[in-house]
């Protein structure tokens, strides 16, 4: 294959999929639950970072009589829901950090009747002060993306960034560095991405933390060993807000690269499927949010910049603006860039699934588990949102009263022979062989997952994104106790101790046990009671 042909292959796959398939009109497993229209209520599908607008929207309710009812989703997933029609009738408006991805799809554009930008925040890099000094970057005001990439590739700058397939901040960062490294002067093309590929790969060698949400990323940064992670990439407003609670030695100097940024303008957008009553509510709300005094308060509360002319940003926000870097010119280029990040550019993953196959899982529960995990082996995932990635090492551990079996698969790169398809089919065959019987030795099985990872890391000598997913429908009733596990975890070397466990609550699982595991390991508890499919897909953003 010619140099950088992974991009061409990714785009070809995307275009072929677009020609042959369509998104089903029914709900997707990861979609938020449906809501019912009510007088005076505006149902809004939004990114969870808008939770900081709560005091503003409470004042808006008093002033306009409009109550905003949020349903949270990832920005790119939300754009898919709008484009496919799954948002029709469920929501009156959407409020993502940006509509740029949504606008790349003709169906998506047609679903939006009007949009009103409310505030602005650029993607920025927050660098720990001690690291900033070591790099000799002064106050950070003259730093470029190229300098950041050089420091990352030289091992001098390790950073955390949200998954671009899940988070708009991660996606905006991916677009920003691709545009900056390629020198694109207009809409980003597939050729620009090819040109930027070597620098992109170097840049992402510095990514040591990944996450499906900004909140968990911030927590992971504070938990990381001193010196392991010296920076975070996120919106300027998120980084500045973090500084309010960070210890002195963890404070971040916010760098807006001099060669340009990709900004979020948070457009409150009215859906064309909305009824006239909700359209009137939308008009009242947007008019209120654009008032000068409200704009000033939004900036003070959220540390985002006002959009109303003549309104000064909150104290601490620089008054100058960086130039906006070009965005992809088509959906195929955007999705190709995302697929390339997941399968080629980023550090590969090592993922261990610890799966409860005790007797209580028999019947519909084991079927649901097989269906949910089987989806992760599918080839119809154009943005690599859920599919096991190229170069990913996947271990399945089936347990009940003891570990029944453990099987490891290494997914090859798409350009290799054989490609990933055969290995993905092999993973699915193991998933479909899961059978329910026996008790629940949860902690023993979890400890074995750590031992498996230790053997794998020692043999490979590599540095991958590593995580454990634990799925159970019951309470541990055999083998080691929670106290035994805590002592086991305390005795792990620092590298092993930092591996997060993401427990999934299913059925009658003991929430206390699972939350304890998440807390000890620095992971996050997920609830699979509504949809195992959706939860397994959501966790992909953390792996």
**Model pLDDT for residues 179-203, shown as the tens digit of each residue:** 999 999 999 999 999 999 999 999 9
CATH of domain 31-117+267-303: 3.40.190.10
Find the length of the chain: 543
Q: What is the pTM of this model?
A: 0.89
pLDDT of res. 30: 60
For the ranges 20-29, 371-380, 496-505, which has the lowest average pLDDT?
Answer: 20-29
Q: How far apart are CA 35 and CA 42, in angstroms?
A: 11
Digit-coded pLDDT (tens) for 57-99: 999 999 999 999 999 998 888 999 999 999 999 999 999 999 9
pLDDT in tens, 298-336: 999 999 999 999 999 999 899 888 999 999 999 999 999
Region 94-113: mean pLDDT is 94
Q: Are 411 and 388 in contact (CB under 8 A)?
A: yes
CA dist., res. 419 & res. 216, Å (int): 34
In this predicted structure, which of 12-21, 279-288, 521-530 has the lowest mean pLDDT?
12-21
Domains 121-263 and 348-542 fall in the same CATH topology: no
Domain ranges across the chain: 31-117+267-303, 121-263, 348-542
Top-confidence residue, 8 or 296: 296
Could you please state the CATH topology (level 3) that the domain comprising 121-263 is classified under. D-Maltodextrin-Binding Protein; domain 2 (3.40.190)
Average pLDDT, the chain: 91
Give yes or no for a contact between 373 and 431, defined as CB atoms under 8 angstroms apart: yes
Arch. (CATH architecture) of 348-542 = 3-Layer(aba) Sandwich (3.40)
What tens digit of pLDDT does each residue of 497-527 get?
999 999 999 999 999 999 999 999 999 999 9
**What's residue 214's pLDDT?**
80
Average pLDDT over residues 435-464: 96
Query: What are the DSSP calls for 144-209, one per residue?
Result: -HHHHHHHHHTTS--EEEE-TTT-HHHHHHHHHHHHHHHT-SSSB-HHHHHHHHHHHHHHHTTEEE
Is residue 65 classed as helix, strand or coil in its secondary structure?
coil
Contact 471, 353 (CB under 8 A): yes
Alpha-carbon distances of 243 from 127, 128, 211, 288, 345, rounded to whole Å: 11, 10, 19, 30, 30
């Amino acid at each position: 294959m010619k140099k950088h042909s992974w991009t061409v292959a990714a785009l070809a796959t995307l275009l072929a999929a677009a020609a042959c398939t369509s998104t089903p009109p029914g709900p997707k497993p990861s979609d938020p639950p449906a809501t019912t229209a009510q007088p005076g209520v505006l149902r809004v599908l939004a990114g969870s970072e808008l939770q900081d607008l709560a005091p503003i929207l409470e004042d808006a309710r008093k002033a306009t009589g409009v109550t905003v009812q949020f349903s949270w989703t990832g920005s790119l997933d939300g754009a898919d829901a709008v484009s496919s029609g799954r948002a029709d009738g469920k929501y009156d408006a959407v409020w993502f950090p940006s509509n740029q991805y949504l606008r790349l799809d003709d169906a998506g554009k047609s679903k939006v009747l009007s949009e009103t930008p409310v505030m602005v925040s650029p993607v920025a890099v927050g660098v720990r002060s001690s690291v900033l000094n070591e790099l000799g970057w002064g106050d950070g005001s003259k730093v470029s993306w190229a300098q950041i990439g050089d420091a990352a590739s030289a091992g001098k700058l390790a950073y955390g960034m949200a998954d671009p397939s899940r988070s708009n901040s991660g996606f905006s960062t991916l677009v920003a560095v691709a545009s900056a490294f390629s020198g694109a002067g207009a809409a980003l093309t597939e050729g620009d991405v090819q040109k930027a590929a070597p620098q992109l790969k170097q840049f992402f060698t510095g990514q040591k933390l990944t996450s499906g949400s900004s909140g968990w990323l911030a927590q992971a940064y504070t938990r990381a060993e001193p010196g392991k992670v010296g920076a975070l990439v996120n919106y300027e407003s998120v980084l500045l807000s973090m500084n309010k609670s960070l210890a002195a030695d963890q404070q971040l100097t916010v760098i807006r690269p001099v060669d340009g940024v990709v900004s979020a303008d948070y457009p409150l957008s009215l859906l064309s499927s909305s009824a006239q009553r909700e359209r009137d509510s939308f008009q009242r709300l947007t008019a209120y949010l654009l008032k000068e005094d409200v704009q000033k308060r939004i900036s003070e509360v959220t540390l985002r910049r006002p959009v109303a002319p003549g309104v000064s940003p909150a104290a601490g926000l620089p008054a100058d603006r960086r130039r906006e870097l070009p965005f992809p010119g088509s959906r195929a280029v955007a999705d190709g860039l995302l697929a390339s990040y997941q399968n080629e550019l980023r550090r590969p993953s090592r993922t261990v699934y610890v799966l409860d196959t005790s007797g209580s899982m028999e019947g519909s529960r084991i079927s649901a588990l097989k269906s949910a995990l089987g989806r992760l082996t599918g080839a119809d995932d154009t943005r690599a949102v859920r599919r096991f990635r190229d170069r990913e090492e996947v271990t399945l551990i089936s347990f009940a009263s003891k570990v029944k079996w453990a099987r490891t698969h290494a997914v090859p790169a798409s350009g290799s022979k054989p490609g990933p398809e055969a290995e993905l089919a092999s993973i699915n065959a193991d998933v479909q062989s899961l059978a329910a019987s026996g008790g629940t030795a949860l902690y023993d099985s979890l400890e074995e997952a750590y031992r498996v990872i230790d053997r794998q890391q020692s043999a490979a000598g590599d540095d991958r994104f590593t995580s454990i997913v634990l799925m159970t429908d019951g309470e541990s009733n055999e083998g080691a106790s929670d106290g035994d596990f805590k002592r086991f975890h305390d005795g792990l070397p620092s590298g092993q101790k930092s591996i997060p466990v993401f427990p999934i609550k299913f059925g009658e699982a003991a929430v206390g046990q699972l939350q304890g595991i998440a807390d000890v390991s620095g992971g996050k508890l997920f609830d699979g009671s509504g949809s195992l499919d959706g939860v397994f897909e959501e966790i992909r953003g953390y792996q």
